[in-house]
Amino acid sequence: MPRDIDRRAARTRKALHQALLTLMLRKGYEALSVQDIIDEADVGRSTFYAHYTGKEDLLRSGFQMLRGELEEAQSTARAGAEASHDDPLGFSTAMFEHAARYADHYRTMIGGRGGAVTENEIRLILSEMVRQELPPTLYGDAIPRDFVVQFIADAFLTALNWWFERKPRLLPSQVDAMFRRLVLGGLSQLIGDERRQIDRPAANRDTD
Amino acid sequence: MPRDIDRRAARTRKALHQALLTLMLRKGYEALSVQDIIDEADVGRSTFYAHYTGKEDLLRSGFQMLRGELEEAQSTARAGAEASHDDPLGFSTAMFEHAARYADHYRTMIGGRGGAVTENEIRLILSEMVRQELPPTLYGDAIPRDFVVQFIADAFLTALNWWFERKPRLLPSQVDAMFRRLVLGGLSQLIGDERRQIDRPAANRDTD
DNA sequence: ATGATAATGGACAGCTTGTTCGGGATTTTC
DNA sequence: GAAAATCCCGAACAAGCTGTCCATTATCAT
């Protein structure tokens, strides 16, 4: 029996992934049928179902690959770097660079093209990254920690979306700088010095 | 010919909207078929197509109603209030209260239940609101204005999502306070006093 | 080369979609 | 109240997609 995966199988899977990528960029995930995918990939119907249980399975498979890539990039980029908790947004630099490298893949996931599955997956991954870097104790207890985590993760997605849709020629480092400054410093730094002192509302004692 | 809409037609449309609402809360928009909707609404197949061209048409129709409600609420809530540019997040208070009032409707739109159509529509509406309130000139030019607009709009959606999914018993005013503090003051206020001074990166001169 | 193994393509029934039609019920108008 | 207009309903239709089956073909190990 063959130790490695059969070359034919590898070729088929690559063709299917490529077809999914192409079609998602063109029509979006939800509007896609299995028929479209196998037509684009030039693959038989039963062949598709021999490899994947449906289009969602194919989608998740591709997502896993990208996730593996990402985790590797994260760990190498931050191997000898400063320890965590030093920079609460430490994930962002490597992440923006990874997005630039796999621009087509990331493009399928944003702007509503990815469907609910992709959206949820990427938000989960990001939330987990942020959670590991955010200091366990926040100043005061006025804002719950998981709220802050979601805030950061979604802000990153916003930056990514804006980057690809509006200014795709920017360098990853440039977008990263804007992202960090806005999330760290907030809006008050941008709207004039006289409002620099934000009002500090009393911490709500009875938050459910 | 009847001056007003026929009562039967109004009843049918109301039943269809209610069915869509119920089913979206249960299964999400994308997983819904026209068959599901007319079964839930107890309406004939041809009747449905006599009123709407498909499920997306029905969705947009309901969305228009809610939008009308919202714009009315916004204008009345801020009739005699302070003029714009005074508070860059002036929309949020009335918006959170509107969301509390129409909780079921808003719940269908967040958490991936609403599908790409809803997501895009609500982001457009929010962006427009924010754009009108944000001062035309931002401190420095390091961060493009439309990036800031998207940042605020998406942060609001994050807050709304977190509110409904995690702490639905909070009052609108409480969520509003957290939202404003986080967006205005940023992350640096939460992670210890020694990092209160954020580093100010030099404005990028060549942003494309 | 040759048998074993695995991928392939096309055909199949079952289901959903969107449309059309005539009979029957309800509302509006007079 | 009765007539006329309008709307709802149910059935039936072609078209498309889905998931499964099996005989055929191409690739692998010896």
Residue A11's nearest nucleotide, by CA–C1', is: C7
CB burial class (10 A; 0-12, 13-18, 19+) of residue A159?
buried
* Residue B197, pLDDT score: 45
> What element of type H or E holds B36?
helix B34-41
B44 in contact with A, Cβ within 8 Å: no
**Which of the pair, A179 or A206, is modelled with greater confidence?**
A179
- Number of Cβ within 10 Å of residue A140's Cβ equals 12
Question: A122 pLDDT exceeds 90?
Answer: yes
* Residue A48, pLDDT score: 94
Question: B203 pLDDT exceeds 70?
Answer: no
* Residue B61, pLDDT score: 92
- Number of Cβ within 10 Å of residue A123's Cβ equals 18
* Residue A74, pLDDT score: 80
Please list, in sequence order, all residues whose beta carbon lies within 8 angstroms of the beta carbon of residue B157, skipping any fewer than 6 positions away: A154, B110, B122, B123, B126
Domain residue ranges in chain A: 7-52, 58-193
- Tell me the C-alpha distance between B154 and B139, whole Å: 21
**Using an 8 Å Cβ cutoff, are A43 and A16 in contact?**
yes
- Tell me the C-alpha distance between A123 and A157, whole Å: 8
Beta strands in chain A (DSSP E): none
Query: B178 and A142 in contact by Cβ < 8 A?
Result: yes
Question: A10 pLDDT exceeds 90?
Answer: no
Q: How far is CA A44 from the centre of its chain?
A: 32
Q: How confident is the model at residue B199 (pLDDT cuts 50, 70, 90)?
A: very low
Please list, in sequence order, all residues whose beta carbon lies within 8 angstroms of the beta carbon of residue A108, skipping any fewer than 6 positions away: A21, A24, A25, A29, A114, A118
* Residue B136, pLDDT score: 79
| A159 contacts on B by Cβ (under 8 Å) | 147, 151
B34 in contact with A, Cβ within 8 Å: no
Question: B85 pLDDT exceeds 90?
Answer: no
Name the token pair of A178.
């804007």
Q: How confident is the model at residue B71 (pLDDT cuts 50, 70, 90)?
A: confident
- Nearest Cα neighbor of B130 from B111, B113, B154 is B154
Please list, in sequence order, all residues whose beta carbon lies within 8 angstroms of the beta carbon of residue A14, skipping any fewer than 6 positions away: none
Nucleotides on chain D within 7 angstroms of protein Cβ: 5-12, 16-22, 26-29
Amino acid making up residue A152: I
**Which of the pair, A20 or A112, is modelled with greater confidence?**
A20
End-to-end CA distance of chain B: 61
Question: A193 pLDDT exceeds 50?
Answer: no
Question: A60 pLDDT exceeds 90?
Answer: yes
* Residue A73, pLDDT score: 83
Query: A167 and B198 in contact by Cβ < 8 A?
Result: no
Please list, in sequence order, all residues whose beta carbon lies within 8 angstroms of the beta carbon of residue A52, skipping any fewer than 6 positions away: A16, A58, A61
- What's the CA A47/C1' D18 distance, rounded, in angstroms? 14
Question: A16 pLDDT exceeds 70?
Answer: yes
- Tell me the C-alpha distance between A86 and A132, whole Å: 12
Q: Is A83 helix (H, G, I), strand (E, B) or coil?
A: coil
- Tell me the C-alpha distance between B71 and B77, whole Å: 10
Q: Tell me the fold of B1-52.
A: Arc Repressor Mutant, subunit A (1.10.10)
Lowest mean pLDDT among A14-28, B104-118, B159-173: B104-118
* Cβ of B2 less than 7 A from strand C: yes
Rounded to a whole number of angstroms, the CA Rg of chain A reads 21
Q: Token pair 């129709």 is at which residue?
A: B61
Q: Is B69 helix (H, G, I), strand (E, B) or coil?
A: helix
Taking each helix axis from N to C end, the angle separating A172-185 and B145-166, rounded to the nearest 10 degrees, works out to 60
* Residue B195, pLDDT score: 44
Q: Helix, strand, coil % (nearest 5) of chain B? A: 65, 0, 35
Query: A150 and B140 in contact by Cβ < 8 A?
Result: no
Please give the CATH architecture assigned to the domain spanning A58-193. Orthogonal Bundle (1.10)
Once rounded to an integer, what is the mean pLDDT over residues B19-38?
91
* Residue B103, pLDDT score: 93
- Nearest Cα neighbor of A175 from A77, A74, A100 is A100
Name the token pair of A83.
């320890």
Averaged pLDDT score across all residues of chain B: 84
Name the token pair of A123.
């938000």
* Residue B196, pLDDT score: 44
Q: How far is CA A187 from the centre of its chain?
A: 24
Q: What is the CATH number of domain A7-52?
A: 1.10.10
* Residue B162, pLDDT score: 96
Name the token pair of A124.
């989960």
Amino acid making up residue B62: G
Q: Token pair 């006093």 is at which residue?
A: B193
**Which of the pair, A74 or A156, is modelled with greater confidence?**
A156
Once rounded to an integer, what is the mean pLDDT over residues B85-99?
88
Once rounded to an integer, what is the mean pLDDT over residues A34-53?
92
What share of chain A has pLDDT > 70, as a percent? 85
Q: How confident is the model at residue A142 (pLDDT cuts 50, 70, 90)?
A: confident
What share of chain A has pLDDT > 90, as a percent? 58
